[in-house]
Amino acid sequence: MSRIKDLRAFIEFLEECHPHEVVRIRKEVDPRFGVTGILALLEKQNKFPLLIFENVKGSEIPVVANMNASFTRLRLALGMESADPKTYLREYARREAEPIPPEETETAPVQEVVFEGDEVDVTRLPILTYHELDAAPYITAALNVMQDPDTGGYNIGIYRMMLKDKNTLGILISETAHGNIIWKKYEKRGEPTPLAAVIGHHPAFYLGALQPLAPYDMDEFHVAGGILQQPVRTVQCRTIPLKVPADAEIVLECEVQPHVREAEAPFGEFPGTYGPQRMSPIVKVKAITMRKNPLYQSIFVSHPDNLLLAGLIRANFVEETVKIACPTVKAVQMGGGGRIRFSCYIAIEKMIEGEAKQAAMAAFVADPYLRMVVVVDHDVDVSNNAEVLHALAFRVRPERDTFVIKNAKGSPLDPCSYGPEGGSHLVTKMGIDATRKDGYPQEVSVPGTEGIRLEDYLGDYLSDNPQGVHTR
């Protein structure tokens, strides 16, 4: 087998081959707004390095932050030294279609250090407070491993975890998450739900485990193996009947208590607004296992570190679903102004009227979080907001080319839901047909641009002002 891919191996690779991607901070930093304050200031300067905070007040464990805030690092996580987003998504789709089963091991780095019983104290970890009105410190990068009690299938998802005391966490398992199905099955039986919170792994493992639109019965350990291109090594937990990645940094072995609810949140969520306080289940931590000298991985929610990781790969599943309704799909782009979650642009080669609306409806089926879908002609570059806005401005008659779907399933964190203060998941969705219609006037164009190289005519100007002229 090739070298095991884990978090520290990826950091070593970056520091050796792409040292400009990593910054180590040795000065003491406060876990309450100190880490996120630095991240926020860097973001204002459009800088997104991987940061390793080696001296976090109150803990001996370093914090790794901003891992997924750069497309460059997501590309490098797949071993791609150069690729545009479209090429990257094609490679991701290829690997996703070739899952690799995990391999179990008896011993594991993540169990080099074990705390059980009275020794359990999650405050050993440098758990951060992210936003001004957050109710408490939160664990944001834990991959929560659960197993369906009926089928035995494994599911992995990130659910925010609120620090309550040394062995108790609040958790939000969203109604749209597959983990919600598993938790409800156990609760109906009056049994605690085994849950393992896995913190810190190779970014390709996160990309595979978090395929957000995968079918319920898809085992994310297998998908993660395909994305990593090697089997995920797993080990049996010490106190609960679950297997976890052997090469993770930290694992919290937990049980979700049945029929127990406590106040959880507010917490700053991915739409850029605070998720409301709700009565949510609580988690009891039975054991903490970790490596010697572990790394604690954090995700800065509502910022690129969160949005790119969870949003970028959604496009593949949306595209494959839309192709069922409209085979002439040319491109799908998540994001635009929708924080990579709530909006989507689709380019199609329209054959008949009505096809654009069919494509939009298929996208809504594929991704319940989508609230606005814009369908354009195949000559529109959906990665270019200006071109999409042009189509919206000049190819849409609102009374004819838009439609809405009321009382639809959406995100309980959507600030435009019917009851955002209570975490309602019901929303109104809007589809927009921004394709050319019959009788559309001839558009202007300039022939021959494909054969012109601006460098041949404006070489000195372009080299002196690399941002001073558009070459498209």
- pLDDT of 470 over the 70 cut: no
How confident is the model at residue 451, as a pLDDT? 87
Q: What are phi and psi of 455, to 5 degrees?
A: -60, -30
Looking at the fold, whether 101 and 189 belong to one and the same domain comes out as yes
Distance CA 186, CA 183 (A): 5
Residues 241-286 have pLDDT tens digits of 999 999 999 999 999 999 999 999 999 998 889 988 999 999 999 9
Which residue in the block uniquely carries the two structure tokens 């705390």? 115
- Token reading at 197: 């919170």
- Pairing type for strands 142-147 and 113-116 reads unpaired
Give 77's pLDDT tier (boundaries 50, 70, 90).
very high
Residue spans of alpha helices (H) in 276-402: 304-311, 314-325, 355-366, 385-394, 398-401
Residues 133-179 have pLDDT tens digits of 999 999 999 999 999 999 999 999 999 999 999 999 999 998 878 99
- pLDDT of 468 over the 60 cut: no
Domain boundary among 287, 309, 331: 309
- pLDDT of 469 over the 60 cut: no
Give 405's strand partners. 429
Q: Which of 81-90, 107-116, 333-342 has the lowest mean pLDDT?
A: 333-342
The answer to whether residue 439 sits within a structural domain is no
The answer to whether residue 226 sits within a structural domain is yes
- pLDDT of 213 over the 50 cut: yes
- pLDDT of 356 over the 70 cut: yes
Calculate the alpha carbon distances from 252 to 49, 123, 284 in Å: 28, 12, 10
Type and span of the H or E element at 88: helix 85-96
Q: Which of 421, 333, 423 is nearest to 372 (CA)?
A: 333
Give 338's pLDDT tier (boundaries 50, 70, 90).
low
The answer to whether residue 450 sits within a structural domain is no
For 384-454, where are the E strands, in sequence order?
A: 402-409, 426-434
Calculate the alpha carbon distances from 179 to 43, 115, 299, 315, 463 in Å: 32, 26, 20, 22, 53
Write the CATH number for 264: 2.30.110.10
Q: Which of 325, 376, 319 is nearest to 347 (CA)?
A: 376
Give 214's pLDDT tier (boundaries 50, 70, 90).
low
Go through the chain and tell me how many residues it has: 472
Residues 376-406 have pLDDT tens digits of 999 999 988 899 999 999 999 999 999 999 9
User: What is the total count of domains within the chain?
Assistant: 2
Q: Which of 23-37, 54-68, 78-92, 161-175 has the lowest mean pLDDT?
A: 78-92
Give the domain range for residue 243.
Answer: 7-309
Looking at the fold, whether 92 and 211 belong to one and the same domain comes out as yes
Give 52's strand partners. 24, 64
Looking at residue 352, what DSSP letter applies? S
Q: Tell me the percentage of the chain whose pLDDT exceeds 70.
A: 96
Q: What is the mean pLDDT of the chain?
A: 92
Looking at the fold, whether 97 and 214 belong to one and the same domain comes out as yes
The answer to whether residue 168 sits within a structural domain is yes
Three-class SS of residue 410? coil
- pLDDT of 1 over the 50 cut: no
How confident is the model at residue 459, as a pLDDT? 81
Q: Which of 15, 67, 303 is nearest to 201 (CA)?
A: 67
